[in-house]
Amino acid sequence: MGVVAFGAVVALPAQGRAQIKIIPQATLQEVATPTHTAQVGIEIEAGGVVQLGVLNESDQPKHLTVRWLNRSGRKAAITHIRSGCGCLVANHDTKPIGSGESGTIGLVFNPKGRSGNVNHKVYLYTTLSDEAPSAVIEVVGEVKSGEGTNPLWPHSIGVLRMRTGSVAIGSDERTVRIAVRNEGSTPLVVRHDRRLSSQGIAAHTEPKVLAPSQEGDLVVELSPTVETGKPLMFYLEGVDAPPRERKIELIVK
**CATH number of the domain encompassing residue 198:** 2.60.40.10
Give domain status of residue 28, yes or no.
no
Give domain status of residue 23, yes or no.
no
Give domain status of residue 16, yes or no.
no
pLDDT score at 229: 66
Same-domain pairing of 68 and 115: yes
Which amino acid is residue 232, in one-letter code?
L
Same-domain pairing of 67 and 122: yes
Domain count, the chain: 2
Task: Pick left, alpha or beta for residue 161 (phi over 0 → left; psi -120 to 50 → alpha; otherwise beta).
Answer: beta
Q: Above 50 in pLDDT, residue 125? A: yes
Same-domain pairing of 131 and 204: no
Q: Determine the structural domain holding residue 224 and report its residue range.
A: 155-252
Which amino acid is residue 180, in one-letter code?
V
Same-domain pairing of 139 and 163: no
Q: Above 70 in pLDDT, residue 188? A: yes
> Does the pTM of the predicted model rise above 0.85?
no
Q: Above 70 in pLDDT, residue 102? A: yes
Which amino acid is residue 69, in one-letter code?
L
- What are the percentages of helix, strand and coil residues in the chain, rounded to 5? 5, 45, 50
The helix (run of H) or strand (run of E) holding residue 202 is strand 201-210
Cα–Cα distance between 248 and 210 in angstroms, integer?
19
Distances (CA, A) of 198 to 87, 158, 227, 235: 28, 21, 10, 9
* Mean pLDDT for all residues in the chain: 80
- Listed residues 144, 173, 197: the one ending a domain: 144
Same-domain pairing of 104 and 168: no
Same-domain pairing of 110 and 162: no
Distances (CA, A) of 119 to 106, 127, 190: 17, 27, 22
Give domain status of residue 221, yes or no.
yes
Mean pLDDT across 115-135: 87
